[in-house]
Amino acid sequence: MTIRRVRIRRREKPKHALAGLHPVVSRVLAMRGLKTPPDYSLRHLLPPRLGGMDRACELLMGAISNNARICVVGDFDADGATGTALAVHGLRALGAGRVDWLVPDRFRHGYGLSTDLVGELASPLPEVLVTVDQGVSSHAGIALARELGIRVIVTDHHLPGETLPPADAIINPNLADEQFPSGALAGVGVMFYLLMGLRARMRDAGHFRNGREPRLDQWLDLVALGTVADLVPLDENNRRLVHHGLARIRAGQCLPGLRALLEVAGRNLRHVQAADLGFAAAPRLNAAGRLDDMGVGVRCLLATRESSARELAGELDTLNRDRQSLQQEMQEMAERQAQELAEGLDGELPGLCVFDPQWHQGVVGLVAGRLMERLQRPVFAFAPAENGGSELKGSGRGPDGLHLRDLLVDIDARQPGLIRRFGGHARAAGLTIDRSRFEEFRNRFNKHIQAIEFEDEYVRTDGELSAAELSLETAQALADAGPWGQGWPEPLFDGAFRVVERRVVGEKHLKLRLSPTERGPAIDAIAFRAGHLCHRDLPDPLHVVYSLEVNRWQGRVTPQLNIRHLVDDGGAAGEPPPPSRSGSV
């Protein structure tokens, strides 16, 4: 995350306490709307009652009984990879003897179940094809599969278009007429629910009279990884899934592939948090889909031997290092473009579209995300399509309060043909345009953005912590109260400190010793990617937004502040911020 100067607004102090919890944890959870301590027992998991479930289970039960060939077709991101591995593990455990899998190549096939991908299905053709984390927009590919005599089950969580594809069954919590209480399931979560429904129906049909009914919670580590990686909202149901997945990892009961991914990233499994899944395991898994072939990632998650898992995790780690290097180079180029465009507009950028013919399409989404963090405005970054033709592939990221996919729907409606293909979510979207029409798209995009009145950005905090609360006990209690993530924000606090020491570590990170302005001992702090601040004048006292974390280093366990932002003096804590734009520091 980019360190910025921000305005803050503190959450309203709760009028009630949650019994039996650490006082800071009680305060934080009450400010998020809880009236009682959370109960993450799996017995309270939402039941597997989704539209399309009965027909999907009927098809799969028939395929299992007849030893028919089933092909799972996933997606090339971490959600799709974990969902694919989950489907293969689960279907085999439920008795399917002939389960294959396939992941589209980002560069040859593009997103979804394309006609090219269907045309490459190995002979003999599968009798049942199950999509994971995609399919709801794959009309042509599904139609071709049906023509070839393949039954198609779609499991997806993306928003559908105006019409649904001709699949035999579609399970998607975000269909217009779906009654399932949570649309926040990730693709891997939808697959977990299909396996739950299938097992229940097989149980009712007497398939497990021999007592060999498989436990599905053994794969909640996969569900946790895919859910966190895809940045879906952590509503109560998703928190329950992630909580138990993390518990399995900490207990050493995770799959060899996930263990290897975390270990190659230097994480201690006993202390893994949701953030470790999002910032350590997921990027290494995603690197395969961005630069090479997500098949490497799926094979890692399917590995049954530790040695194979470690070897595949090593390949993914190497790919991730290559991705980091490429991203850094592209990021610097994009920043220069942004500066030039801002100078032409007197520094006021309503939004940003950037492109370079040397960029890699698998990394443009990361570049767009980093720029969006700094500007707090929507950003699209484009790269040439891999096939060397006339198309550009774009990836966009947007701030809160703007739905990127809806914005593309509006642009497409106002200027048909400008966008060849598009899709996505509120905060992230992808599209394809003709290379000759990039400037036309940029102009149309800017006109749309200029017409939008953005709310003044501010960061919500959970208030101040006293010097006594800046303790290891509090840090551990906050960690144990998770999982934290999208839609269930991790606790962020703000406070004023005096800088006792500062230095650069790891070449680019700012390491500090901070002393509370009230009496209290100094505490370690880290500001990632903020080494450039080491030799700059900083306010005294220094008002920062931070999270309180447990730092384990060389056998020492201490509390540490992870500084996220510097607080702009113009925004008084607890007061609505004055109109202004946040800038990077």
Contact in structure between 459 and 472 (CB atoms under 8 Å): no
- Surface-to-core class of residue 348, CB atoms within 10 Å of its CB (0-12 exposed, 13-18 middle, 19+ buried): exposed
Q: 304: which residues sit within 8 A by CB, 6+ positions away?
A: 256
Residue 169 backbone dihedrals phi, psi, to 5 degrees: -150, 140
Q: 115: which residues sit within 8 A by CB, 6+ positions away?
A: 140, 141, 144
pLDDT value of position 569: 65
Residue type, 101: W
Place of tokens 């947007």: 398
Domains and CATH numbers, the chain: 4-32+458-584 (2.40.50.460), 49-318 (3.90.1640.30), 349-450 (3.10.310.30)
Return left, alpha or beta for 375; rule: phi > 0 is left, psi -120 to 50 is alpha, else beta: alpha
DSSP for residue 352 = E
DSSP 185-211: --HHHHHHHHHHHHHHHHHHTTTTTTS
Which tokens belong to 320?
A: 């991730």
Our CA angle for 276, 285, 422, nearest 5°, is 110
Q: 505: which residues sit within 8 A by CB, 6+ positions away?
A: 511, 526, 531
Residue 493: closest CA among 564, 566, 546 = 546
DSSP 144-162: HHHHTT-EEEEE--SPP-S
Q: pTM of whole model > 0.95?
A: no
- Walk along the chain (585 residues) and give the pLDDT tens digit of each residue: 567 888 999 999 998 999 999 999 999 999 999 999 999 999 999 999 999 999 999 999 999 999 999 999 999 999 999 999 999 999 999 999 999 999 998 888 878 899 999 999 988 999 999 999 999 999 999 999 999 999 999 999 998 988 999 999 999 999 999 999 999 999 999 999 999 999 999 999 999 987 789 999 999 999 999 999 999 999 999 999 999 999 999 999 999 999 999 999 999 999 999 999 999 999 999 999 999 899 999 999 999 999 999 999 999 999 999 999 999 999 999 999 998 888 877 656 788 999 999 999 999 999 999 999 888 889 999 999 876 678 999 999 998 878 898 899 999 999 999 999 888 778 888 999 999 999 999 999 998 888 887 777 789 999 999 999 999 999 999 999 999 999 999 999 999 999 999 999 988 999 999 999 877 899 999 999 899 899 888 888 999 999 999 999 888 999 999 999 999 865 443 333 333 333 334
Per-residue buried b or exposed e for 18-38, using 16+ beta carbons within 10 Å of the residue's own CB: beebbebbbbbbbbeebeeeb
Residue type, 346: D
CA–CA dist 543, 538 (Å, integer): 10
Biggest distance spanned by C-alpha atoms of the chain:
75
CA–CA dist 540, 49 (Å, integer): 57
Place of tokens 């975390």: 262
Return left, alpha or beta for 12; rule: phi > 0 is left, psi -120 to 50 is alpha, else beta: beta
Place of tokens 């085999």: 92
CA–CA dist 262, 282 (Å, integer): 9
Q: 156: which residues sit within 8 A by CB, 6+ positions away?
A: 131, 133, 134, 135, 136, 170, 171, 172, 187, 190
Place of tokens 């499991």: 155
Place of tokens 């040439």: 384
| Cis, peptide link before residue 576, omega less than 30° from 0 | no
Residue 566 backbone dihedrals phi, psi, to 5 degrees: -95, 140
Beta strands 419-424 and 428-434, pairing class: antiparallel
Q: Where are the alpha helices (DSSP H) in 416-509?
A: 438-450, 472-480
Which tokens belong to 4?
A: 């910025």
CA–CA dist 88, 71 (Å, integer): 9
Residue 183 backbone dihedrals phi, psi, to 5 degrees: -90, 10
